[in-house]
Amino acid sequence: MSPTPSPADAIARSVERLNELGPAPPIAVLLGSGWGGFAERLEAADDVAYADLPAFPSLGVGGHAGRLRCGRLGGRRVAVLMGRKHAYETGAADGMKGAIRSLAAWGVRILVQTNAAGSLDRAMPPGALMLLDDHLNIVQRSPLLDEPGDSRFVDMGQAYDPALRARARAAVEAAGGTLHEGVYAWVLGPQFETPAEIRWLAAAGARAVGMSTVPETILARHAGLRVLAVSLITNMAAGISDEVLSHAHTLAAARAAADAAVAGLVAIVGALEDGPAR
């Protein structure tokens, strides 16, 4: 049995494999539940399994394919990560650390994240898209707990890049769509929230709630990547409606809204300027 590579070696070997796909695209898109149709929009695409990228995680959640696809979207090269490791799978918040650091080492400058989320606002029903303008780390876990030195102290004052958000809003409006905006609350899961927890989150300013995205945002900002994130609303949160929540329900609702969501994401990615990493 070959020894497990160190994190640095795993990233280096992952970058070697990614380089076989060509120069790094400026933008990588991390797909959450229900967003898989976006990967199908890429042309002249090549796939690499996460299993062939030593720094990438193994996945165990339905709706997450575990492949990286690199291709063209409207003439622009884009990398798409088809799935993420969630903290609720192991209890650790750093499941995507190697993957995101590999993207940064490859040369990616912008990370666009997507997720499926529950709505705390009746004006934002299932099928709606919400642009994250901030987040609440309710879990109070960090993927940087073992990070040495002062670089661990990452400024999160503008975790979701204001210039990218402005371009996203303009792109969706120009396409005739609606893009809501608000605060996303990260909860650990895998159980869904109680009505009391939802009332508490709403009082804290959350407009949507979900089980991902925040750890990856922290990792991306630590790596110097600019971040944009979009939620696909798949349900009203507990206590706001009478629907019974389940992962199957989330996937079914995401599939029903997938065409419009993917069209919005295509417009957004096509409108983003590369810009320097910060």
DSSP string, 211-241: SSSHHHHHHHHHTT-EEEEEEEEEEEPBTTB
Place of tokens 């898109």: 29
> Which residues neighbour 4 within 8 Å (Cβ) at sequence distance 6 or greater?
none
Q: What rounded mean pLDDT belongs to the chain?
A: 92
pLDDT at 1: 53
- Length reported for the chain: 278
Q: Which amino acid is at 210?
A: G
Count the alpha carbons within 13 Å of 146 in the hemisphere toward its beta carbon.
5
What pTM, to 2 d.p., does this model score? 0.93
Domains delineated in the chain: 7-271 (3.40.50.1580)
Helix (H) or strand (E) run with residue 82 in it: strand 76-82
Burial of 55 (0-12, 13-18, 19+ CB in 10 A): buried
Rounded Cα distance between 115 and 208, Å, is 11
pLDDT at 117: 95
> Which residues neighbour 90 within 8 Å (Cβ) at sequence distance 6 or greater?
none
User: pLDDT confidence of 278, banded at 50, 70, 90?
Assistant: very low
Could you tell me how far CA 17 lies from the centroid of its own chain?
Answer: 22
Place of tokens 């769509």: 177
Residues 160-217: tens digit of each pLDDT: 999 999 999 999 999 999 999 999 999 999 999 999 999 999 999 999 999 999 999 9
Rounded Cα distance between 92 and 86, Å, is 8
pLDDT at 276: 47
Better-scored residue on pLDDT, 278 or 190 = 190
Q: Do residues 104 and 224 make contact, with C-beta atoms less than 8 angstroms apart?
A: yes
- The arithmetic mean of pLDDT across residues 8-18, rounded, is 97
User: pLDDT confidence of 33, banded at 50, 70, 90?
Assistant: confident
Q: Do residues 76 and 27 make contact, with C-beta atoms less than 8 angstroms apart?
A: yes
Judge whether residue 221 has pLDDT over 70: yes
> Which residues neighbour 263 within 8 Å (Cβ) at sequence distance 6 or greater?
175, 177
- At residue 250, what are phi and psi to the nearest 5 degrees? -60, -45
Does the annotation place 235 within a ligand binding site? yes
pLDDT above 90: percentage of residues in the chain = 83
Does the annotation place 180 within a ligand binding site? no
Does the annotation place 33 within a ligand binding site? yes
Judge whether residue 246 has pLDDT over 80: no
Which tokens sit at 156?
A: 């999160």
Q: Do residues 214 and 184 make contact, with C-beta atoms less than 8 angstroms apart?
A: yes
Q: Which residues are catalytic?
A: 33, 64, 86, 88-89, 116, 211-212, 235, 247
pLDDT at 11: 98
pLDDT at 61: 62
pLDDT at 63: 56
Count the alpha carbons within 13 Å of 160 in the hemisphere toward its beta carbon.
25
Does the annotation place 58 within a ligand binding site? no
Does the annotation place 197 within a ligand binding site? no
